[in-house]
Amino acid sequence: MPSVKLVVRDPAVAPEELLATALELDLPGVAPSTSGAPFLEVASAGVDKGTGLVRIAGALGVRADEVIAFGDNLNDLEMLAWAGHGVAMGNALPEVIAVADEVAPTNNDEGIAVVIERLAVNGWRV
């Protein structure tokens, strides 16, 4: 099976700087991204959380409008855009907040639990 992800790390260079350089290279067939970890992720083009979620949901017979997804970094963009209800964490990057349907409290403020509890009380209606 071919590799689908490469991790690039340099303790002296921020992941955002590595991302900017990777994007300038404009290499075909790859998709660089960040995840909040101290490295750059480089995946095969079209291999991301969104396409993974599409495959799993399809296999389970679940529609996009039945899916809620949570994210905070660039590697979550496609997933949040595809999900019927995308939730950015309060500590998410501005690009992530821009594609989300809702912004939850931060990770430290138990944002996922807050949203899930609200949905459970409201009969799972957003």
Cα–Cα distance between 97 and 53 in angstroms, integer?
19
Angle at 50 between CA 13 and CA 94, to 5 degrees: 50
- Phi, psi torsion values for 22, nearest 5 degrees: -60, -40
The CA distances from residue 6 to 69, 72, 76, 98, 104, in Å, are 24, 21, 17, 27, 30
Q: What is the pLDDT of residues 52-110, one digit of tens each?
A: 999 999 999 999 999 999 999 999 999 999 999 999 999 999 999 999 999 999 999 99
Q: What is the pTM of this model?
A: 0.88
